[in-house]
Amino acid sequence: MSRQYSVKAKPYNFTFDLDKTALIIIDMQRDFLYPGGFGEKLGNDVSTTNAIIPTVKKVLDKAREKALFVVHTREGHRPDLSDVPPSKQRRGGNIGEQGPMGRILVRGEYGHDIVDELQPIEGEVVLDKPGKGAFYQTDFEIILKNKNIETLLVAGVTTHVCVQTTIREANDRGYECLMLEDCCAAFDTKDHDDSIRMINQQGGIFGWTTRSASLFETLN
């Protein structure tokens, strides 16, 4: 049975093979989505990021139904903070400080983990990364190659930072990316909207973008 699909997207239809496609859910962590975490400590309104949880959950459920390979990423650092560049600490000086969900952006802490609604299940990869992009200082590319993945469906936060960085990194490595617009969010909606245009402009210079409804219409 063919698992080839084509979904309506910008700048033009996106064609993919489910057997060579992975759903990448980026940094849907309590530290970025809940009050008291890293995102809010930087002065952001986290209501825009946690609002997408139900939509991401629907996509995750559909991915599981279709037996897609799923990768969840988490940005965070070693408990001794030895992997935090001084430049990053200067701009986000609360990394490692105690917050309401444990030490902020530190691996193993409650706030560092993925929100309850999107918790990984057996067979799904959890990828811990120290930076914005999923490829930087991780074994992400090895995992994708071992699974014969060519196409990435991308969701998560924040659109203009970790999501866009990962898509750009993937593009340079030859992966085709479809960003699910309503499954991504930024603290500032303008940053989100601008990122969508940056990705799909010039004939899809970094990838394609679409809304989850188009994906559901295609896969149902």
Q: Which is nearest to 72 in space by CA: 132, 15, 36, 118? A: 118
* Beta strand residue intervals within the chain, DSSP E: 4-7, 14-17, 21-26, 69-75, 98-99, 102-103, 125-129, 151-157, 176-185, 208-210
Catalytic option among 10, 27, 177, 183: 27
**What's the number of CA atoms in the CB half-sphere (13 Å) around residue 91?**
5
Per the annotation, the verdict on 8 as an active-site residue is no
177 belongs to the catalytic site: no
The catalytic residue among 10, 41, 129, 132 is: 129
Tell the burial category of 30 from Cβ atoms under 10 Å away from its Cβ (0-12, 13-18, 19+). Answer: buried
CA dist 33 and 68 (Å) reads 25
Residue 162 is a catalytic residue: yes
Instruction: Check 31, 162, 177, 183 and give the catalytic one.
Output: 162
What's the Rg (C-alpha) of the chain?
17
Active site residues: 27, 129, 162
